[in-house]
Amino acid sequence: MAEVKIFSGTNSQYLASMVADQYGKELGKMSIKRFADSEISVAFDESVRGCDVFLVQSTFPNADNIMELLLMIDAARRASAHYVVAVIPYFGYARQDRKDRPRVAVGAKLVANMLTAAGADRIMTLDLHAGQIQGFFDIPVDHLEGTSIFVPYLKARKLDNLLFASPDVGGVARVRKFATHFDADIVICDKHRKKANEIASMQLIGEVEGANVILIDDLIDTGGTMCKAAQLIMDRGAASVRAICTHPVLSHNAHDNIANSVLEELIVADTIPLKQDNPKIKVLSTAELFAKAIGRIRDNGSISTLFINYQHQITF
């Protein structure tokens, strides 16, 4: 059986080192250098010939993260790796998954094409913005679910009268998946945008009075939608509002928006490192989940056994 080696790009080493530790391996050694003009050079500092290579790199801003990952895949291929898996905890450009107006790029498909062309044999990721992005790839995609870490955390909080909310109509399926684990109802915030990151109006569909409401989304960017939805829910009589957002993009003044909002807690995963501390943000680790998934791939085991639907529990 091929040896497993885990490597990391520059900005995901904080997570990759924990994944490697959970798996029981040391993080592989590699050199990533930049020339004076910012061109990137990648080299493995140990042999990967005949190995199953797992390359951990989220593609959060800036675009150098994607370029690093592509070069890492190419280097592994040219160094005769047996199998190359791109472990992408946060898959960037996923919001550009369709032509929602004329003459625009479909960024998610472009990134999928580049990863495949670079030589990746398999993709592993967590909570894609849209599950159908898996269909953009002609190679296997392991789409892990954040419910595996968020549901046990919520159950440990022992909150009563729970109600789950979607900040937009498109996230209803995601919210319903959470609600089924608590036998709870859902409500929907129907929003209308003027343009990206700017909300024109928002309406609440459903009753929230007296409930402890949990807003669910795959990512939080500026925090505008989430904070506006939280305020709307509190104005309708909710007892409290919390939010679960897998990927903490948190750009621009997001931290201030969250700190000044009615949110009691924002629960996120560590797929993207926080740029600053925020007492309202609780970060849950995905390291054990990814390490177990790597083990399943190596042993040709079932990835679906890691989903919360199969009663998988991660300890805290």
191 is a catalytic site residue:
yes
Measured in whole angstroms, the distance separating CA 214 from the mean position of its chain's CA atoms is: 18
* Collapsed DSSP state (helix, strand, coil) of residue 308: helix
Give the burial class of 192: count Cβ atoms within 10 A of its Cβ; 0-12 exposed, 13-18 middle, 19 or more buried: exposed
CA–CA dist 316, 310 (Å, integer): 19
Contact 65, 97 (CB under 8 A): no
Environment class of 279 (CB within 10 Å of its CB; exposed 0-12, middle 13-18, buried 19+): exposed
Are residues 43 and 31 in contact, defined by beta-carbon separation less than 8 angstroms? Answer: yes
Q: Which amino acid is present at 258? A: I
- Torsion-angle region of 30 (φ positive above 0: left; ψ -120 to 50: alpha; else: beta): beta
State the catalytic residue, choosing from 191, 280, 282, 292.
Answer: 191
Q: What positions carry a catalytic annotation?
A: 191
